[in-house]
Amino acid sequence: MPLLCYSPEEGALNLIVRGEKRQRLAAQVKHEPIPDIHTMKLKWIIPLILLATGALLPQSEPENAAKAKVMALEKAWNQAYKLGDTKALGTLLDDAIVLIEDDGSIKTKAEFLASVKSTTANEEQVSPESMTVHVYGQTAVAVGVFAAKGTRKGKAYIRRERFVDTWILKNGNWVCVATNATPILH
């Protein structure tokens, strides 16, 4: 009965009939030693340990401070908006801010501040329900949900919106350079 046999010395596949090599069936094959199981395990375990410990390391103090500062500024924005305090809002917003309204329109800083002054709404409560801040060097992105409760033209309203605000550290102060809020309808 013919038998196929791999010869590591020759690096070839041979046909063996009755104990004698009859024919070489494959060209030379590069032979590399198979690593032992411990070497293979170490190749995967060490990077996994390094990755896991890196993920578990506490965030840097400057990053935590930036997150806390931006969260405080978000809350200050809500309070200033509720009170119609355009001076406070003006200090939080960059002069070139991009404000995207619920309907998709874009307002400048001046247009937004004018709309806050002229509003017929009486905001009783404007507060974040949830918020997360991600810091990328001197840029921070705040993502969350806020609720607003009040009256407009004598009618009570409650609305919830999901927002994304982009902040940058400019001349030592955090300012918002872009904002978008989308109504949550369900």
Query: What is the per-residue pLDDT across 13-31, written as a single tens digit (0 to 9) for each?
Result: 555 555 555 555 444 445 4
* Same domain for 78 and 44: no
Say whether both 167 and 110 belong to one domain: yes
Among 119, 163, 28, 13, which residue's Cα sits nearest to residue 3?
13
Give per-residue pLDDT as tens, 33-43.
555 555 555 45
Query: To the nearest whole number, what is the mean pLDDT of the chain?
Result: 78
The string over 82-118, giving b where at least 16 C-beta atoms fall within 10 Å of a residue's C-beta and e elsewhere, is beeeeeebeebbbeebebeeeeeeebebeebbeebee
Express as a percent the part of the chain with pLDDT over 90: 39
Same domain, 27 and 85: no
Residue 8 has phi, psi (to 5 degrees) of -60, -35
More confident residue, 47 or 142: 142
Last residue of a domain, one of 56, 81, 101: 56
Same structural domain, 52 and 79: no
Q: Are 80 and 72 in contact (CB under 8 A)?
A: no
What's the CATH number where 112 sits? 3.10.450.50
Token couple for 158: 């409650």
If one counts the domains in the chain, the total is 2
Task: Express each pLDDT in 106-133 by its tens digit.
Answer: 999 999 999 887 665 566 667 778 999 9
Which of 173, 179, 183, 182 is CA-nearest to residue 108? 179
The reply to whether 172 and 95 lie within a common domain is yes
For residues 149 and 158, give the distance between their C-alpha atoms in angstroms, rounded to a whole number.
4
Are residue 112 and residue 85 in the same domain, yes or no?
A: yes
pLDDT at 102 over 60: yes
143: phi then psi, degrees, rounded to nearest 5? -130, 135
**Residues 152, 71: one domain?**
yes
| DSSP β-ladder status, 93-100 and 173-183 | parallel
Q: What is the pTM of this model?
A: 0.64
The domain of 124 spans 61-183
Statement to judge: residues 155 and 73 lie in one domain: yes
Same domain, 124 and 163: yes
Q: Based on the domain organization, do 122 and 74 belong to the same domain?
A: yes
Distance separating alpha carbons of residues 63 and 16, to the nearest angstrom: 69
> What pLDDT sits at residue 59?
58
CA distance 30 to 112: 71
Secondary element (H or E) of residue 54:
helix 37-56
Please indicate whether residue 24 or residue 82 has the higher confidence score (pLDDT).
82
The pLDDT of residue 159:
84
State mean pLDDT over 65-72. 96
In this structure, the answer to whether residues 65 and 52 fall within a common structural domain is: no
